[in-house]
Amino acid sequence: MSAKQAIMLLSGGLDSATTLALAKKEGFDCFALSFRYGQRHSREIESAKKVAAAASVLGHRIVDIDLAQFGGSALTDSAIDVPKDRAGLENESAIPLTYVPARNTVFLSYALAWAEVLGVFDIFIGVNSTDYSGYPDCRAEFIAAFEKMANLATAAAVEGKGKYKIRTPIIEMTKAEIIKAGTAAGVDYSLTHSCYDPDEKGRSCGRCDSCRLRLRGFAQAGLKDPIEYV
Amino acid sequence: MSAKQAIMLLSGGLDSATTLALAKKEGFDCFALSFRYGQRHSREIESAKKVAAAASVLGHRIVDIDLAQFGGSALTDSAIDVPKDRAGLENESAIPLTYVPARNTVFLSYALAWAEVLGVFDIFIGVNSTDYSGYPDCRAEFIAAFEKMANLATAAAVEGKGKYKIRTPIIEMTKAEIIKAGTAAGVDYSLTHSCYDPDEKGRSCGRCDSCRLRLRGFAQAGLKDPIEYV
């Protein structure tokens, strides 16, 4: 019996590594898709390669995209500092400076293009709205709207060859639940990278929102984070 | 009184040049956005620059994107021939080989990213579903679905700073109507390029779907096409 096939958006972070493992557990063989989008933490890409290799994906494409030229985010614009030691992590009213305009929209659009060429109709993305950092494009209502649009945008869907499904297995999990589920599914978290602002040696800062969410998740899961911090 | 501002997706073709002129007529000052997406007819980009300059746009960004690496289209994949002299142009049941998977989805996603950074909420795109070539992402229902998604995807919309509007002034026009409207609005069609398969000197083939739609449009409008054909 041949496995189902899917596209997996793989950042190299903890969430997408877990999502990939859960997709495999659901019986999907995955094509991994990563992006160099001018992010400061390009170490992510090296992690994505390792995670993809460890999961024996069917293929891994790394696409260069040009979001940095638009600016507007601390992740892509060197004129904006990455926020550290924010007082709170959740339920902040303001969307943080690390928000990259329309990032998941752009990423999913590329995934859709590749899916259509491959004849694949399932796209996995490791978005998470529970322990999220305030990003609007990590919410279920955004994902549902994208899926609807995808099924109107593409020849494959319009000709009735299939129906696109954007799959988000971790969207309602807490970070601790994600780490537990991934650990049970065999994810090696030492391969992953989360920090928005690593040092020259690639060590995580431990103080940006992403590090703090990660560290708190491991603590709440009762597990030790295997990566190196400054 | 300061003019309203908008993003204009500018391909260098007849439709987007007309759309830009109509946007200006509606009182919008435009930022033009073009793409090098591995299309064979990169002469389009040269036309886009000329059209943008002639319209005195506020700025013009040309973004390199990597759709060609996915393949699957005669416009980006040199292994697939551009169809010539097709029997019919409209009401073909099959979506043609010149369809580029998810192209307008990707283009609009970039436009959305730039719009959000600029604080602009209007995006113009010269899609046309009447004299269209069978592309699903040129239809009003796709545009409506994208617009809905955009308003869920972005911090600017979610925070209530504005509501994105994807504007498609030529969507229901015939090619002849587009050419008449553009001529009335002062478009210099000698600057535009439509051919999918120009020769080395940049001259249009006259035989691909795009050339045939263009030539028929000028004929029906009772006007002479000012560009050079082989």
- What is the SS3 assignment for chain B? CCCEEEEEECCCCHHHHHHHHHHHHCCEEEEEEEEECCCCCCHHHHHHHHHHHHCCCCEEEEEECCHHHHCCCCCCCCCCCCCECCCCCCCCCCCCCCCCCCHHHHHHHHHHHHHHHHCCCEEECCCCCCCCCCCHHHCHHHHHHHHHHHHHHCHHHHCCCCCCEEECCCCCCCHHHHHHHHHHCCCCHHHCCCCCCCCCCCCECCCEHHHHHHHHHHHHHCCCCCCCEC
On the question of pLDDT at B89 being above 70, the answer is no
Q: What is the pLDDT of residue B43?
A: 84
Q: What's this model's pTM, rounded to 2 decimal places?
A: 0.90
Would you say residue B226 lies in a domain?
no
- Give the pLDDT mean for A82-95: 58
The residue of A33, A63, A70, A93 whose CB has the most chain B CBs within 10 angstroms, and thus the best one to mutate to test that interface, is A70
Backbone angles phi, psi at B7, to 5 degrees: -95, 140
Q: Could you tell me if B33 lies within 8 Å of chain A, comparing CB atoms?
A: no
State the CB neighbour count (10 A cutoff) for residue B165.
14
Lowest mean pLDDT among A209-213, B52-56, B166-170: A209-213
Q: Is the ipTM of this complex over 0.90?
A: no
Query: How high is the pLDDT of residue B200?
Result: 87
Q: Which residue has the tokens 């283009």?
A: B107
In this predicted structure, the answer to whether residue A128 has a pLDDT above a threshold of 80 is yes
Q: Are residues A125 and A114 in contact, defined by beta-carbon separation less than 8 angstroms?
A: no
Indicate whether A140 belongs to any domain.
yes
- The predicted pLDDT at position B162 comes to 95
A104 neighbourhood in chain B, CB within 8 Å: 153
Q: Does the residue A184 lie in any domain?
A: yes
* Residue B78, domain extent: 4-221
Contact B154 A101 (CB under 8 A): yes
Count of all residues that appear for chain A in the document: 230
Measured distance CA(B47)–CA(B76) in Å, rounded: 18
Tokens of B200: 């080395």
- Percentage of the residues of chain B whose pLDDT score is greater than 70: 87
For residue A41, what pLDDT band results from cuts at 50, 70 and 90?
low
List all residues of chain B from 77 to 96 with a beta carbon under 8 Å from chain A. 95
Average of per-residue pLDDT across B20-29: 97
The answer to whether the Cβ–Cβ distance between A113 and B102 falls below 8 Å is yes
Structural domains counted in chain A: 1
Quick check: A138 contacting B, CB < 8 Å?
no
> What pLDDT score does B196 carry?
85
Q: What count of other Cβ atoms lies within 10 Å of the Cβ of residue B73?
A: 25
Q: Which residues are A165's β-sheet partners? A: A122
- What integer best gives the mean pLDDT of chain A? 88
Q: Span B108-135, mean pLDDT?
A: 88
- CATH number of residue B112's parent domain: 3.40.50.620
- Please tell me the predicted confidence (pLDDT) of residue A200: 87
Assigned domain for A229 exists: no
A187, part of any domain: yes
Distance between CA atoms of B105 and B137, rounded to whole angstroms? 7
- Does residue A121 fall inside a structural domain? yes
- Dihedral sign for Cα A23, A25, A30, A32, please: positive
> For position A100, what pLDDT does the model report?
79
Mean pLDDT of B71-86: 70
Can you tell me the mean pLDDT for B140-149?
97
> How are beta strands B4-9 and B28-36 bridged, if at all?
parallel
pLDDT of B197 strictly over 90? no
pLDDT at A196: 85
pLDDT for position A40: 66
Instruction: Verify whether the Cβ–Cβ distance A117 to B65 is below 8 Å.
Output: no
Is residue B227 in a domain? no
d(CA A154, CA B137): 7
In this prediction, residue B145 has a pLDDT band, given cuts at 50, 70 and 90, of: very high
Q: How confident is the model at residue B91 (pLDDT cuts 50, 70, 90)?
A: very low
**Is the residue at B230 inside a domain?**
no
Q: Which residues of A touch B100 (CB under 8 A)?
A: 113
pLDDT at B57 over 80: yes
What per-residue confidence (pLDDT) applies to A134? 72
Across the range A197-208, mean pLDDT stands at 90
Model confidence at A98: pLDDT above 90: no
pLDDT at A193: 94
**Candidate from A40-54, A120-134, B20-34, B185-199 with smallest mean pLDDT:** A120-134
